[in-house]
Amino acid sequence: MTEVFVNMGQISAFKTQGILTTVGLGSCVGVTLYDDLAKVGVMGHIFLPRSRERDAGAPPGKYADTGIPAMIDEAVRLGAQRSRLKAKMAGGANLFPNLNANSTSIGTQNIEAVTEHLKKHGIAIIGKDVAGDYGRKMRFFVDTGVVTVTAIGKEAVKI
Amino acid sequence: MMNDAKLDFLKELANIGTGHATTALSQMLSGRLFQLVVPDAQMLPFDQAADYVGGLEQVIVGIFVVVSGDVRGHMAFLLPVDSALVLVRLLTEDDSGEINELARSALQELGNIMITSYLNALAKMTTLLMAPSVPGVAVDMAGAVWQSILAGAEVTDEVTVIRTEFFADGEAIEGHILFLPDDDDFKQIARMLGLEEV
């Protein structure tokens, strides 16, 4: 099966089959959308919670507020039905907790923003493995909708 | 866009900073000598930034500080976990081969001394204040560490990265020191050194 690596700020998709993978999720959040009937899967790799004016030319997938709608559009373009889309997410860690002791970490802000924008678009989150202080790798098998999350020194998690 | 002269200037800063940092490291390691590899200065577009450190799934030790003062930015000291274990053995005589709590604090202190030496050297040249925060230490996938650093720097369309690699003579130690100055503040360094606006 073809495996595509989804880098920071990117959005990639498969129909029927294929593996969408993101490695090295730290504070970033990996998000998947899946229509299990149409077998359409989209993955985004969200870098920061909110788009900023001084970064107007950024790809939509870089920020949660622009990324979630762009992912939905991509799923629909490939034949998914909006009402059938379900989401999963992983990442949003804080690798340097002592530097963020007095403020909300970027990881937490990313988790909150992704959750908020999915909710705004009426998409349920049916699986997640988020937060903590360690990085993750996320693989999305579009033929089944299964997402696996691995981390250094930890058991793989299926979400 | 930056011309070659300006990139050369950035490389020179990296050379001076890393030279001081490795001298400090050498003093901690009873005089072991380090070789610097030609520094690299780049304005990396965002979509190429993730791959810059390479080996995204390999376990590395990352020591990260936020720089405040007249020049703001972010600094990181990244090294393969094997190199970190050699440093820990030399510093603490612990050869358990794992990054335990003692090892973490030794690496944190080492990173602190190296980064402070780097910044002090630049501060002295420019008379600008550059103060590092307490360092954070992560032992994790290179991609996750580097990505978290880029997010901490809130990178927009491109990021200035000044990197120097170094190696030790006679010991399997290698690492990189990276400096990500905030764009506006970085211009101050150039101005203070009498260079034209970058």
Indicate which CATH number applies to the domain containing B36. Answer: 3.40.1550.10
Q: What is the pLDDT of residues A34-71, one digit of tens each?
A: 999 999 999 999 999 999 998 999 999 999 999 999 99
Strands (DSSP E) contained in chain A are 3-5, 11-15, 19-25, 29-35, 40-46, 86-91, 124-130, 136-141, 146-150, 157-158
Structural domain includes residue B198: no
Which residues of B touch chain A, with CB atoms under 8 Å apart? 46-47, 49-51, 56-57, 59, 62, 64-66, 133-134, 136-148, 150-152, 154-157
Residues of A in contact with B51 (CB under 8 A): 7
| Catalytic residue of the set A20, A28, A71, A85 | A28
Residue B184, SS3?
helix
ipTM of the complex model: 0.94
Residue among B50, B66, B148 whose CB faces A27 most closely? B148
How far the first Cα of chain B sits from its last, in Å, is: 9
Residues of B in contact with A98 (CB under 8 A): 134, 136
Q: What is the pLDDT of residues A23-36, one digit of tens each?
A: 999 999 999 999 99
Q: Is A108 a catalytic residue?
A: no
Q: Is A78 on the interface with B (CB under 8 A)?
A: no
Are the C-beta atoms of residues A89 and A22 closer than 8 Å to each other?
Answer: no
Give the per-residue pLDDT at B43. 81
Structural domain includes residue B135: yes
Give the per-residue pLDDT at B11. 81
H-state helical runs in chain B: 4-28, 46-49, 81-92, 101-126, 142-152, 183-192
Answer yes or no: do B156 and A26 touch at CB < 8 A: no
CA distance A135 to B26: 31
Give the per-residue pLDDT at A147. 98
For strand B34-36 and strand A86-91, is the pairing parallel, antiparallel, or unpaired? unpaired
Q: Which domain holds residue B42?
A: 4-192
Give the per-residue pLDDT at B198. 45
DSSP structural state of residue B12: H
Answer yes or no: do B66 and A99 touch at CB < 8 A: yes
Helices (H) and strands (E) in chain A, counts: 2, 10
Choice between B56 and A139, residue whose per-residue pLDDT is larger: A139
Answer yes or no: do B46 and A9 touch at CB < 8 A: yes
Structural domain includes residue B197: no
Number of domains forming the structure of chain B = 1
Spans in chain B with pLDDT lower than 70: 1-3, 6, 193-198
Structural domain includes residue B91: yes
Domains of chain A, CATH where assigned: 3-158 (3.30.1330.200)
CA distance A109 to A38: 32
Give the per-residue pLDDT at B50. 84
CA distance A140 to A36: 13
Structural domain includes residue B134: yes
Residues of A in contact with B144 (CB under 8 A): 24-26, 93, 95, 134-136
Are the C-beta atoms of residues B76 and B63 closer than 8 Å to each other?
Answer: yes
Q: What is the pLDDT of residues A77-119, one digit of tens each?
A: 999 999 999 999 999 999 999 887 778 999 999 999 999 999 9
**What are the structure tokens assigned to A157, written together?**
């998690």
